[in-house]
Amino acid sequence: MNVASMMNDEKLIFLHIPKTAGTSLRVLIEQAYAPEECLFLYSQFEPHVLEAIHQALPKAKVLYGHVCYGVHETLGISAKYVTFLRNPIDRIVSFYSHNARAPGMMWYAAIQAGMTLRDMVESGVSVETNNHITRILTSYAPASVLDDDAVLAQAIANLHRHFCLVGCSETLEIAVQTLKTALQWQINDLPRLNINPHPVHLDAATLATLEKFNRLDLLLYNYVQRHFDPSSLRECEVARPVV
């Protein structure tokens, strides 16, 4: 990878998939770059938000937040992506547990009223529990149930073409060290934030439901473990906006 070009005109986009240690990585990004070089992105780009982002873009080196692949096209920039994956079952359990213990979360009241993890997944009330990683990596918009191998294939193609680093939870420290070395980050050790203090036991029926509704994410996670090396940055195409 041409690291020099990345640090000049290309932007680095950290695509933060929810419940994948992204908060910890955001801390490191904000240690590695000056405030004006960090640009936090929201998933919704109202006109006033876009205007503020475009004003900040010239000085920004790294963009990060809960956004989907393709945000470079929305912003009209050249960029390479970085993302981290987590075992899809563990990720959904963490999502449910966070909602169960935090009163400000969307599903807190429903969970307190008796909605189980299996209920949440089978009901389809949240796209977070149905192949959400694949959705993010393809900008898949429909809220209906997703179980389409063609969408999985597109997610894999996007990773190969435009992601210079794809890590997994098991290799997180290795991937962070790779970024630290390649991009000359002056950072502390990876902090461990938002850890669930109360592990959830999954009965067989609930596990089967999670596996059914997240078949694509499980296949994607296994694929990344086999085909992506977290110990080095990959050569990949620069993701350029459509003109």
- From CA 162, how far away is CA 10, in angstroms rounded? 12
- From CA 199, how far away is CA 42, in angstroms rounded? 29
Residue 124 amino acid letter: G
Which residue from 212, 214, 65 is spatially nearest to 128, judged by alpha carbons?
214
Strand-pair partners of 163: 81
- Tell me the domain boundaries of the chain: 3-227
User: Where is 80: in which H helix or E strand?
Assistant: strand 79-85
What's the CATH superfamily of 3-227?
A: P-loop containing nucleotide triphosphate hydrolases (3.40.50.300)
- Residue pair 93/26 in contact (Cβ under 8 Å)? The answer is no
- From CA 51, how far away is CA 47, in angstroms rounded? 6
From first to last of its 243 residues, what are the pLDDT tens digits of the chain? 444 444 457 999 999 999 987 778 888 899 999 999 999 987 667 888 889 999 999 999 999 998 999 999 999 999 999 999 999 999 999 999 999 999 999 999 999 999 999 999 999 999 999 999 999 999 999 999 999 999 999 999 999 999 999 999 888 889 999 999 998 888 877 766 555 555 667 999 999 999 999 999 999 999 999 999 999 999 988 888 875
pTM for this prediction: 0.90
